């Protein structure tokens, strides 16, 4: 969050307040971005699961897999099979 706030020329507290006024928080924005990017990488690329996990900030492929199941109700391989990859 610190890096994002700094890039935007804001303090962390100012970013938190701005997001709060929009009815969200940094964690939700981050989750939305990660899930959207995961869907893109899984359905539109042939990148290995390990690389996708790394690109999205997961230290372990298993953590990425759990997140995908939580977001989409299916494991990453099932999402990939549905895409154009």
Q: Domains of the chain, with CATH numbers?
A: 26-82 (1.10.10.60)
The CA distance from 85 to 77, in Å, is 11
CA dihedral of 13, 19, 23, 29, whole degrees rounded to 10 = -120
75 has pLDDT over 80? yes
27 has pLDDT over 60? yes
Q: What is the pLDDT of residue 84?
A: 59
Kindly indicate the confidence band of residue 82, based on its pLDDT and cuts at 50, 70 and 90. confident
Using the CB atoms, write b or e for 13-49: b if 16+ within 10 Å.
eebeeebeeeeeeeeeeeeeebbeebbebbeeeeeeb
Average pLDDT value for the chain: 94
Q: What percent of the chain has pLDDT over 70?
A: 98
Mean of pLDDT values over 1-7: 91
């Amino acid at each position: 969050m610190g890096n994002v706030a700094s890039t935007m020329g804001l303090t962390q507290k100012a970013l938190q307040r701005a997001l709060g006024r929009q009815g969200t928080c940094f964690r939700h924005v981050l989750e939305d971005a990660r899930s959207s990017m995961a869907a893109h990488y899984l359905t539109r690329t042939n990148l290995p699961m390990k690389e996708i996990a790394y690109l999205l900030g997961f230290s372990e492929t298993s953590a990425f897999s759990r997140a995908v199941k939580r977001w989409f109700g299916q494991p990453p391989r099932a999402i990939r099979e549905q895409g154009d990859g």
